[in-house]
Structure 1
Amino acid sequence: MAISSALQRLLESNWPIARYVVKGGSMLPLLAEGDRLLLLKTRRVRLGDVIVFRGDRRHYLKRVSALPGQMGMCWGTAIPLDAGEYCVLGDNLAESTDSRQFGPISADRIVGRAILKYFPTIAWIESRSQMSDGNSF
């Protein structure tokens, strides 16, 4: 109970931290429906980071697969990314709606980087340079 109230006070303060509840299975096996995460509110992200960003109608949770200046897979083809553009993919490619369908995202849509899963288990969320199926970005 003390940890929960301390966490609540931290999140209600001016700290650059937010909560997020995972929806869907696009990030399996790393993250599942209902997992609860802490986000570091930042737009500074690296290749392989798991981020939350604003879509047209909802928020998405995906992994950064290409950075500005790199080639990214968008709309079924590799395209060069402009400054401030990122490509994102779900770890579970078969179940993910991502940059392959909606194209690159702009930095101003990034809410933050996932840093910790705190429910139902506790685990740090680390950046990776490979997808869960072994394919490189």
Structure 2
Amino acid sequence: MLRRLRALLPFDRFIVEGESMTPSVSPGERVFVNRAAYWFGPPKAGDLVVLRDPRKPERLLIKRIDEAHGNSFEVAGDNVDASTDSRTFGPVPADLILGKVWFRY
């Protein structure tokens, strides 16, 4: 029952792995993600988002929206030397963006 209820709620939590978003978000930090944030409008430049890796959809990434191109988005890590992002895999379709990071803890 709890598992079903959790699936209906528009929020999720994740633990960050990797250095691609340092210094903004460090490995081991947890992020609280609002999956409903983009139900009524698209992501904006500067938003911190969790998305599916376009090359391996089972893998989740945390990135910042760099710019929008219609229904796709350029994403980038804050630590460009340690980030695999749109420079590697190109623009990300909106349906791969799971939600906006509301806060980290």
What is the RMSD of the two structures over their aligned residues, measured on CA atoms?
2.0
User: Which amino acid is 2:6 matched to?
Assistant: E
Residue 59 of structure 2 corresponds to: 58
Distance 2:21 2:29 in 1: 11
- Whose relative contact order is higher, 1 or 2, with alpha carbons under 8 Å and at least 6 apart? 2
Among candidates 10, 14, 22, match of residue 16 of structure 2: 22
SS in 1 for 2:8: coil
The size of the alignment, in residue pairs, is 96
How far apart, in 1, do the equivalents of 2:46 and 2:12 lie?
20
Q: Shift of the alpha carbon at 1:105?
A: 0.3
Structure 1 match to 2:88: 101
Q: Structure 2: how far apart are the matches of 1:36 and 1:109?
A: 20
Instruction: Find the residue that maps to 1:30 and give its secondary structure.
Output: coil
Residue 13 of structure 1 deviates from its aligned partner by: 6.9
Give 1 or 2 for the bigger CA radius of gyration.
1
Q: Secondary structure at the match of 1:108?
A: helix
CA distance in 1, matches of 2:86, 2:7: 33
Code of the residue aligned with 1:51 in structure 2: it is V
How far, CA to CA, are the matches of 2:21 and 2:7 in structure 1? 29
Give 1:104's aligned amino acid: P
Q: How far did residue 14 of structure 1 move?
A: 3.2
Aligned to 2:72: 85
Q: What is the identity percentage for the equivalent residue pairs of Structure 1 and Structure 2? A: 36
Structure 1 unpaired stretches of 5+? 1-7, 69-82, 119-137
Counterpart in the other structure of 1:36: 30
Query: Corresponding residue for 1:45?
Result: 43
Deviates more, 1:37-46 or 1:109-118: 37-46
1:15, distance to aligned residue in structure 2 (A): 2.8
User: 1:126 maps to which residue?
Assistant: none
